[in-house]
Amino acid sequence: MPTRDDGIRATNQDFIRYEGVDKRQSYHLAEADDEQFDEELQVRICDMRAPTFARDLGDALREIGFAILDGHGVDPALYDEAEARVLEMFRRLTLEEKMRFRAQRHGSINQGYFPIKETSNMHPDLVEGWVFCRRAFERPRDFWPDAGNAAFFEQIVRAHERLILPIMQALLTYLGCDAHLYDAKLTGTNFGLRLNYYPPMSDGDDASGAARLLGHEDVDLFTFLPAPRTEGLQILNRRNMKWVRMDAPRGTIILNSGDYMQRISNDIFPSTTHRVSKPRDPAQRRATRVSFPMAVYVWEEELLEVLPCIESPKYPPVKAIEFHTGITSKFYGDDYAVKSSKLSALSSQEKPGEQKGGSPES
Ligand SMILES: [Fe+2]
């Protein structure tokens, strides 16, 4: 049985059997000594108000799987307050108080609190995390340690929810599909808001070789990440296998496509590898880092199938819960995967819209 510390030396290819889309890129889960950096590639800034938005966003995701959203209309003061609240919440609560909300699987998603070095079984990530899905906002008392933060972070998810359809419509337009194909599926869809608290690194943590957050690809359709203040996010350019240091202006939102999107777009929009590295400046390693990405999913009963406007599909249709938990069982253990007995009965004629439904557990 591999341990988390083995993950400091592991590569993604050690876990490739779990993947639900093509991932030929090979990289160490932690940072390695022999890596190269791409100083040329600039992730595109896409203004949501521009008439060329669909083309700009499609080109950005097609090229690298990441874009920077501007003109999104979300008040940047919300992001400043969110950062302060994450710091306050993780510092105020004792480990015992946080562990009362320890993460468990609800539907497709492992939801709740993740202690430091326990984000996954693969690697000892130097971060504490806390994931809140839609049900956490419907039943805040069951999922939030206090009502004030539940109410505040609901404003963030509502603001980001307003961006979901415009983003999806832009991508469908870019691909030549009916722009509204996913409107129903994504109205009231599930999401995961993840609060990340990266404490100051101790000398021991620094020397261990562990990453702040291991190299990975997001499993979702796409992720909104309000530009963090502290250096760390790096993305892997598959064309040259060099790492790109993300540097997005404050107030913008970093958007990246995930495994669901790579699957339905037949690999046109890649699920790009990214990680959180240690800051280069040793002084910054002693500082706390905060981020709060929001992952957008389809409900677990939906089918993920290659979009009808794309010829020669590489992938058969798959139920979202099976796809999702099959991949994330690399993080949480083989027992985590949900096998759908119904899956074999599904045919490509079946319309995913007919499978509409809430999460089975809510
Ligand atoms: Fe991620």
45-47 and 66-70 strand pairing: parallel
pLDDT at 111: 93
Number of Cβ within 10 Å of residue 48's Cβ equals 17
Centre of ligand 1 from the C-alpha of residue 216, in Å: 6
Centre of ligand 1 from the C-alpha of residue 217, in Å: 6
pLDDT at 118: 82
Q: Which amino acid is at 94?
A: T
pLDDT at 359: 33
pLDDT at 158: 98
Which helix or strand (DSSP H or E) is residue 41 part of? none
**Local structure of residue 11 (DSSP, 8 states):** B
Residue given tokens 């957050």 in the structure block: 213
Centre of ligand 1 from the C-alpha of residue 149, in Å: 23
Centre of ligand 1 from the C-alpha of residue 303, in Å: 22
Centre of ligand 1 from the C-alpha of residue 312, in Å: 29
Distance (Å, rounded) from C-alpha 343 to C-alpha 346?
A: 5
Centre of ligand 1 from the C-alpha of residue 218, in Å: 5
Number of Cβ within 10 Å of residue 174's Cβ equals 21
Centre of ligand 1 from the C-alpha of residue 275, in Å: 7
pLDDT at 100: 96
Centre of ligand 1 from the C-alpha of residue 242, in Å: 18
Residue given tokens 């808001």 in the structure block: 193
pLDDT at 316: 96
- Supply 73's token pair: 């209309």
Centre of ligand 1 from the C-alpha of residue 17, in Å: 19
Number of Cβ within 10 Å of residue 299's Cβ equals 22
Q: Which residues surround ligand 1, an ion (CB under 5 A)?
A: 218
Question: Low-confidence residues of the chain, pLDDT below 70?
Answer: 1-5, 340-362
Q: What is the largest CA-CA distance in the chain?
A: 58
pLDDT at 207: 84
Question: pTM of the full predicted structure?
Answer: 0.90
Strand ranges (E), 233-339: 233-237, 242-245, 253-257, 274-276, 289-291, 294-296, 303-304, 318-319
Distance (Å, rounded) from C-alpha 289 to C-alpha 275?
A: 14
Centre of ligand 1 from the C-alpha of residue 195, in Å: 12
Centre of ligand 1 from the C-alpha of residue 233, in Å: 9
Residues in the chain, total: 362
Centre of ligand 1 from the C-alpha of residue 107, in Å: 19
User: 73-77: which pairs have CB atoms within 8 A and are 24 or more residues apart?
Assistant: 73/48, 73/159, 73/162, 74/159, 74/160, 74/163, 74/226, 74/253, 75/159, 76/250, 76/251
Which helix or strand (DSSP H or E) is residue 210 part of? none
Centre of ligand 1 from the C-alpha of residue 345, in Å: 33
- Supply 5's token pair: 């510390």
pLDDT at 8: 77
Centre of ligand 1 from the C-alpha of residue 219, in Å: 8
Q: Please list, in sequence order, all residues whose beta carbon lies within 8 angstroms of the beta carbon of residue 193, skipping any fewer than 6 positions away.
A: 131, 132, 133, 136, 153, 156, 157, 292, 293, 294
- Supply 242's token pair: 């060099």
